[in-house]
């Protein structure tokens, strides 16, 4: 979402959550980079709303640490907080290690087919200039595992706290070979689940989730204005 584009909202839903969702996606996808100023009056005009739902949406973004709010002055897209990213990564890894263990202990052909279908969606968009579709397919793959393990609400929890680490991943994704490595890792995870090998599934997942933070120093060096250590 570009700052000057008019945005149409679903009038059957409350406005503030929709503003929050669209602004959050623009921040996490780095369409709005750290340091971007979010002016309430401009956003109100852009969304065709009063400033009240805009304020509510910005407050939610502030609670997630995605914007810095300076009262009576400005709201600015925050820099990526490495500490917050590491904590979100720790929680996600802890949950997903148990998720893949659970799935590998009770694998079935239907689940394996669904997971492989999500991987093929990633393959289909891997060469796209816009990484949005690839990221969406990646998230759908992981969400499917949470659903299959019977813990869909934990996926919502993980997504809610992952804004900073997701921005790091967006910075890392264009690196040569990164998208292909994601697909390779997903295939290895599914193969281990299909073979009912919990240890292999966990080993593959652990390697998969370590990719971006393992390159943290390089990312910080390349984007010093985006990252706060």
Domains and CATH numbers, the chain: 15-78 (1.10.10.10), 81-228 (1.20.120.530)
Reference 103, options 185, 191, 196; nearest CA is 196
Going by the DSSP 8-state scheme, the letter that residue 215 receives in this structure is G
Strands annotated E in 21-118: 67-70, 74-77, 80-81
Strands annotated E in the chain: 67-70, 74-77, 80-81, 227-228
**Tens-digit pLDDT string for the chain (229 aa):** 555 567 878 788 899 999 999 999 999 999 999 999 999 999 999 999 999 999 999 999 999 999 999 987 789 999 999 999 999 999 999 999 999 999 999 989 999 999 999 999 999 998 766 688 999 999 999 999 999 999 999 999 999 999 999 999 999 999 889 999 999 999 999 999 999 999 999 999 999 999 899 999 999 999 999 999 8
pTM across the whole model: 0.91
pLDDT score recorded for residue 6? 76
Q: Residue 185's CB: how many other CB atoms inside 10 A? A: 17
Distance in angstroms (rounded) separating the CA atoms of residues 182 and 121:
13
**Contact residues for 46 (Cβ-Cβ < 8 A; gap 6+):** 3, 4, 5, 6, 7
110 CB-side CA count, 13 A: 2
Instruction: Point out which residues pair with 68 in neighbouring strands.
Output: 76
Distance in angstroms (rounded) separating the CA atoms of residues 104 and 195:
7
């Amino acid at each position: 979402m570009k700052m000057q584009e008019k945005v149409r909202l679903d009038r059957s839903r409350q406005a503030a959550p929709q503003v929050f969702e669209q602004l959050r996606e623009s921040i996490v996808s780095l369409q709005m980079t750290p340091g971007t100023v979010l002016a309430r009056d401009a956003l109100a005009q852009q969304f065709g709303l009063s400033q009240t739902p805009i304020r509510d949406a910005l407050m939610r973004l502030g609670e997630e640490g995605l914007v810095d709010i300076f009262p009576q002055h400005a709201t600015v897209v925050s820099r990526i907080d490495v500490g917050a990213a590491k904590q979100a990564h720790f929680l996600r890894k802890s949950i997903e290690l148990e998720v893949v263990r659970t799935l590998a202990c009770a694998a079935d052909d239907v689940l394996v087919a669904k997971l492989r279908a999500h991987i093929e969606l990633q393959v289909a968009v891997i060469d796209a200039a816009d990484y949005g579709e690839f990221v969406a397919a990646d998230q759908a793959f992981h969400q499917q595992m949470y659903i299959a393990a019977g813990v869909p609400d934990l996926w919502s929890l993980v997504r809610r706290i992952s804004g900073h680490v997701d921005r790091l991943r967006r910075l890392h994704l264009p690196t040569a070979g990164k998208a292909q490595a994601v697909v390779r890792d997903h295939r290895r995870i599914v193969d281990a689940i299909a073979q009912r090998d919990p240890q292999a599934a966990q080993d593959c997942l652990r390697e998969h989730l370590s990719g971006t933070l393992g390159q943290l120093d390089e990312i910080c060096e390349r984007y010093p204005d985006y990252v706060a250590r």
